[in-house]
Amino acid sequence: MSKVYDVIIIGAGPAGLSAGIYAGRARLSTLIIEKEKDGGQIVLTSEVENYPGCLEGESGPTLVDRMAEQAKHFGAEKVYDEIIEVNLEGKEKVLKGKKGEYLGKTVIVATGATSRPIGCPGEKTFTGKGVSYCATCDGAFFEDFEVYVVGGGDTAVEEALYLTKFARKVSIIHRRNELRAAKSIQDKAKANPKIDFIWDSVVKEIKGDGIVDTMIIENVKTGELTEVKADEDDGTFGIFVFIGYVPKTKIFEDMLELQKGYIVTDENMNTNIEGVYAAGDIRVKSLRQVVTAAADGAIAAVQAEKYLEQ
């Protein structure tokens, strides 16, 4: 018979790892299930400056590594598996993965979100061939090339700044006439001589012969189309997309209350099913940052402990 855990956490990003730390420290039998690799979206971040107590030069991967080690220290177990089916009703929650079945008295959903695509023709075709969603993963491939960053929020501008370490020029394409990023980040970008801005514009099509060499941009106010072609000497350019995220909630659609794909919770991370909690980017919230994800995870674990005591 499968072991019945006190707490099963789906996802090993900051929310899931924080929940693992708190649940493990409370001496609850805890299992963290992660589909691919620890960290979620934060592992794509080259520099973390706004997490309290982070080290100088902190990156997403270094912060996550310490979180994962802390959860392990407090006894949280971890398996790498993809959950494909769940039954969250009843006293024992059943999670079916590609590699096995897992039973838990409580479940904390911390599955996070994936990068939102532009949705234009050519995007899928050229993903990995000029189109990227990870500056730290692919920035070095564009040493001394031109790159374009699509988006205007914190992540987009931060990653544009990071890309200036490699690219000779970085152009930020934003559908509005001003950035949404924090003022301090905007100031850095506007002061960087390598960064340029293409306002009121969206990418309509991406083309190339094996690799990206052409992009069609539309001005949303005038409807004017502009064809951007790669420099002849380069033969290509990079397109880095940071326009938000899509929550990973598909397997919960028929069970948990959702709002625009995100899980609805109260302030204690309770979902509409008793003993099931949601934490981090997956839930409806006003701010999606590492610090709020960690707080969510801690609250969810403490609430799970209280539920089990009852």
Residue 77 tokens, joined:
């177990």
Shared-domain flag, residues 49 and 83? yes
Closest among 177, 172, 173, 171 to 221, alpha carbons compared: 177
**What is the H or E stretch that residue 39 is in?**
none
In a domain, 124, yes or no: no
Domain that residue 250 falls in: 4-115+245-309
Shared-domain flag, residues 196 and 135? yes
Chain-centre distance for alpha carbon 181 = 17
Using the 3D structure, point to which of 241, 270, 285 is the last residue of a domain.
Answer: 241
Is 209 labeled as catalytic in the residue annotation? no
d(CA 145, CA 232) in angstroms, rounded, equals 11
| pLDDT mean values, one per 10 residues, the chain (310 residues) | 90 97 98 90 74 85 94 97 95 96 98 92 95 88 97 94 97 97 95 98 97 98 97 96 92 94 97 98 90 96 97
Contact 163, 144 (CB under 8 A): no
CA torsion through residues 159, 116, 250, 298, sign: positive
Q: How many domains does the chain have?
A: 2
Shared-domain flag, residues 218 and 148? yes
- For position 1, what pLDDT does the model report? 47
**How does strand 101-109 pair with strand 113-115?**
unpaired
Using the 3D structure, point to which of 241, 269, 292 is the last residue of a domain.
Answer: 241
Catalytic residue among 65, 81, 120, 134: 134
In a domain, 99, yes or no: yes
- For position 42, what pLDDT does the model report? 77
Shared-domain flag, residues 181 and 206? yes
Residue 284 tokens, joined:
């409806």
d(CA 168, CA 231) in angstroms, rounded, equals 12
- For position 136, what pLDDT does the model report? 78
Using the 3D structure, point to which of 241, 259, 290 is the last residue of a domain.
Answer: 241
Shared-domain flag, residues 26 and 171? no
Shared-domain flag, residues 230 and 300? no
Residue-by-residue DSSP string for 153-208: SHHHHHHHHHHTTT-SEEEEE-SSSS--S-HHHHHHHHH-TTEEEE-SEEEEEEEE
Catalytic residue among 138, 154, 281, 296: 138
In a domain, 19, yes or no: yes
Contact 13, 297 (CB under 8 A): no
In a domain, 125, yes or no: no
Shared-domain flag, residues 66 and 210? no
- For position 44, what pLDDT does the model report? 67
Q: What share of the chain is helix, strand, coil (3-state, %, to 5)?
A: 25, 30, 45
Shared-domain flag, residues 270 and 185? no
In a domain, 121, yes or no: no
Closest among 38, 63, 65, 64 to 49, alpha carbons compared: 63
- For position 113, what pLDDT does the model report? 87
Shared-domain flag, residues 111 and 16? yes
DSSP-derived 3-state class of residue 307: helix
Shared-domain flag, residues 164 and 305? no
Is 137 labeled as catalytic in the residue annotation? yes
Question: Nearest 5°: phi and psi at 15?
Answer: -65, -50
Closest among 193, 141, 140, 143 to 171, alpha carbons compared: 193
In a domain, 276, yes or no: yes
Shared-domain flag, residues 172 and 190? yes
**What is the H or E stretch that residue 135 is in?**
helix 135-138
Closest among 63, 74, 26, 66 to 41, alpha carbons compared: 63
In a domain, 123, yes or no: no
**How does strand 83-87 pair with strand 195-198?**
unpaired
In a domain, 172, yes or no: yes
Residue-by-residue DSSP string for 244-305: -EEE--GGGTTTS-EETTEEP--TT-B-SSTTEEE-GGGB--S--SHHHHHHHHHHHHHHHH
Catalytic residue among 54, 81, 120, 137: 137
d(CA 75, CA 78) in angstroms, rounded, equals 10
Residue 280 tokens, joined:
């981090």
**What CATH number should be reported for the domain holding residue 143?**
3.50.50.60
Shared-domain flag, residues 106 and 150? no
d(CA 285, CA 247) in angstroms, rounded, equals 12
Is 120 labeled as catalytic in the residue annotation? no
Contact 59, 80 (CB under 8 A): no
